[in-house]
Structure 1
Amino acid sequence: MLAPLVRLVGGSSNDPCSGRVEVYHDNQWGSVCDDRWGLDDAQVVCRELGCGRALSAPGRAHFGWGEGPIWLNYVTCTGAESTLRECRHEGLGSHDCRHSEDAGVVCEGSDIRLGMGFHSCSGRVEFYHDNQWGSVCDDLWGLDDAQVVCRELGCGRALSAPGRAHFGRGEGPIWLDNVRCTGSESTLRECRHAGLRSHYCYHSENAGVVCEGKTQTQVNVLAF
């Protein structure tokens, strides 16, 4: 799977799932014009970045003016595309816009994160519930479960599903046990499990994932 060539800039440091939309092309990050920009377009960006559903699609440089090129204008997504690259647009670099028209997105955010990994797409799986982050037990944990996590986080395919607290012991509650995904689910929340906080585990059994990732090397060698 290709690394995502889209990022969000200018949002809150505590919220990686909102910001000005920027795409990578010709060794340069550039912005997107807000002409015809709407919720269907934002939905594709949020999905591509593993940020859940789109809540809004602000324009008029809501997240600040970008710098450098404006790569896309008149983006027309159906909302079903997997990546922004698949959507129709006027042509790379073809526009009549200024950075005062830069497009943005606000996404719902993900209730999954990875802790203590060796890059952003590996680590101990943590799940958000009841205003608290907690871990996942490794009972029945396998590659199908890891695949759902990697897809939800926009991290490509799953390479492995280590257990036994491979990425260190978590703290707080253990929210999920006996997770059983088919591998086709969009989010870990859709998978079967024993019930929230229903488990017979210790943090020494915390589940982890290693995903293919969205590394800077991949970004540098791929064109939008």
Structure 2
Amino acid sequence: MAAAGDGRRVVSKAAGALSYPTAPHSCPHRLLAQRQQHSFGLHGVACVGTEAHLSLCSLEFYRANDTARCPGGAPVVVSCVPGPLYAASNGQKKQQQLKLQEEARVRLKGGARPGEGRVEVLKAGTWGTVCDRKWDLQAASVVCRELGFGTAREALSGARMGQGMGAIHLSEVRCSGQEPTLWKCPHKNITAEDCSHGQDAGVRCNLPYTGVETRIRLSGGRSRHEGRVEVQIGGPGHLRWGLICGDDWGTLEAMVVCRQLGLGYANHGLQETWYWDSGNVTEVVMSGVRCTGTELSMDQCAHHGTHITCKRTGTRFTAGVICSETASDLLLHSALVQETAYIEDRPLHMLYCAAEENCLSHSARSANWPYGHRRLLRFSSQIHNLGRADFRPKAGRHSWVWHECHGHYHSMDIFTHYDILTPNGTKVAEGHKASFCLEDTECQEDVSKRYECANFGEQGITVGCWDLYRHDIDCQWIDITDVKPGNYILQVVINPNYEVAETDFTNNAMKCNCKYDGHRIWVHNCHIGDAFSEEANKRFERYPGQTSNQII
């Protein structure tokens, strides 16, 4: 392929084009190669290191009648090192992956497949996005290699992987392609006027071929994006296909299947698949599957092993999925919660409707109605859809519930959890906000509203819009009547049961520090759950001694 000297010079650069981040020294492998007879087709291969494919490097072809075939040289040999995402899944490697994740200063968000997404970087303990000004393939390749992939296949601009929220840390990043980290590239520190989240940069990386998509398939669906899940088990010579028990199968497990097959996101994880053709595969070979939703393949999810335990037997109760190229991504406006939080002592005679909808704590049932009051922590909640598809309720209109007190239909039984926690995570109060009416309260300038609750209208949140629940709306509170003075954490979780597909569930939780003295409450340091680094989150959980932003 090239002369010996050329091989030493380009071997690590060529590895990037093969979708691996790096290559170790190749000398041990050269001894074997030198003993064999070879026919050479290329020589003089010289890569810069940013090429997405070896054919893009400078190279020369041997002519058909050329007799001087690499005199005194040997074939180039490349030994690739997989990134942490593709390391073996034993305990030691998992610890290495966790350590790398904690030390990471760059990550991808909103991508449908591994190695793609919106680029986010860590600065001063806080994650933020990168402006797409001067964003190119060289800078994207640095990100891809830093994350353990090969070179970049695409450098994306215009928030094509969805908009971020919060800080924009970098702009006008100029990389040569050889830097070990994006922070080593010349860049401009950004101000709020310089860029918007509509200009968030993204990447698609070249990935090593693993073959995981050949060990799973969908059958019986109307298209290749849906069907009953079939997995391949057994060793060489004894391979067979089987079904997965539908018990406890949900969106997180379906996300892994769709990712493994390269079909994007999971719209639905189905526990019954009787309406799809069963085909020839009828044996259930896997049960008790539990995934976190981030795994690359079903092999990395927990399950019962060889002993199959299924509550409901038969092929009709086996796992199925419906995949989609796009999905929504909900995000709370955490600063608004901090700005609007206050305490109200509300008379019981004004809470009959709230009690009917279970919006008060359990002790309210034994109160001396209509006398007395309940102490409520109230705040506004603004829920943005920053994904690439509208957020729609899982249930159809036929199953929505009419609430006479509110005068509209509620489309989801559980959409948000409001909780007061101790610093060690013990729940001491909850909001009991059991159901929601979803609509577009406001939208970005170039986006039109599509959903409105009134008159039995369609419900949902359009991409680029948000649903606002003001602090003075019924049930927009946490009943803290029984909470003792102390330091606490206010936690809000959207879509807590993963009922509706999203591109990212890690940003669905919001946390704030609270100090309550029995009369007043201080709420501060509100942030999305994954907005801080691991170390900053640990400091948050220990609760600071100083408080600010007094709310009365």
Spell out, residue by residue over 1:80-111, the C-alpha distance to the aligned partner (whole angstroms, 9 max, x if none).
Answer: 34973259999xxxxxxxxxxxxxx8643421
Name the CA distance, whole Å, in 1 between partners of 2:176 and 2:245.
44
Q: Judge conservation of contact 2:271–2:319 (CA < 8 Å) in 1.
A: yes
Give the % identical residues: 28
CA change 1:89–1:123 in 2 (3 A) is farther
**After the TM superposition, which residues 19-98 of structure 1 pair with which residues of structure 2 at under 5 Å, given as runs?**
33-34=53-54, 35=57, 78=145, 80-81=148-149, 84-85=153-154
CA change 1:180–1:49 in 2 (3 A) is closer
Deviation >4 Å, runs of 4+: 36-41, 86-90
CA change 1:204–1:115 in 2 (3 A) is same
**Alignment match of 2:303 (pick from 182, 193, 196):** 193
SS at match of 2:270: coil
Spell out, residue by residue over 1:62-84, the C-alpha distance to the aligned partner (whole angstroms, 9 max, x if none).
Answer: xxxxxxxxxx9xx8852734973
> Are 1:146 and 2:254 matched, yes or no?
yes
CA change 1:38–1:209 in 2 (3 A) is farther
**After the TM superposition, which residues 149-168 of structure 1 pair with which residues of structure 2 at under 5 Å, given as runs?**
149-165=257-273, 166-168=275-277
SS at match of 2:304: coil
Aligned to 1:202: 314
What TM-score do the two structures reach when normalised by structure 1? 0.51
Name the CA distance, whole Å, in 1 between partners of 2:154 and 2:248.
36
Aligned to 2:324: 212
> How many correspondences in the alignment?
150
Name the CA distance, whole Å, in 1 between partners of 2:220 and 2:278.
9
Q: Judge conservation of contact 2:282–2:315 (CA < 8 Å) in 1.
A: no
Q: Judge conservation of contact 1:121–1:213 (CA < 8 Å) in 2.
A: no
**After the TM superposition, which residues 167-186 of structure 1 pair with which residues of structure 2 at under 5 Å, given as runs?**
167-169=276-278, 171-186=281-296
SS at match of 2:217: strand
CA change 1:39–1:175 in 2 (3 A) is same
Q: Judge conservation of contact 1:133–1:172 (CA < 8 Å) in 2.
A: no
Q: CA deviation at 1:142?
A: 0.6
Structure 1 unaligned blocks of 5 or more: 1-31, 51-71, 91-104, 215-224
**Alignment match of 2:216 (pick from 105, 109, 112):** 112
Name the CA distance, whole Å, in 1 between partners of 2:294 and 2:113.
17
Aligned residue type for 1:205: F
SS at match of 1:124: strand
Q: CA deviation at 1:147?
A: 0.8
Q: CA deviation at 1:199?
A: 2.9
Q: Judge conservation of contact 1:159–1:210 (CA < 8 Å) in 2.
A: yes
What TM-score do the two structures reach when normalised by structure 2? 0.23
Name the CA distance, whole Å, in 1 between partners of 2:256 and 2:210.
19
Structure 2 unaligned blocks of 5 or more: 1-51, 59-77, 86-111, 115-136, 157-174, 178-207, 327-552
Name the CA distance, whole Å, in 1 between partners of 2:292 and 2:247.
15
Whose relative contact order is higher, 1 or 2, with alpha carbons under 8 Å and at least 6 apart?
1
Aligned residue type for 1:167: W
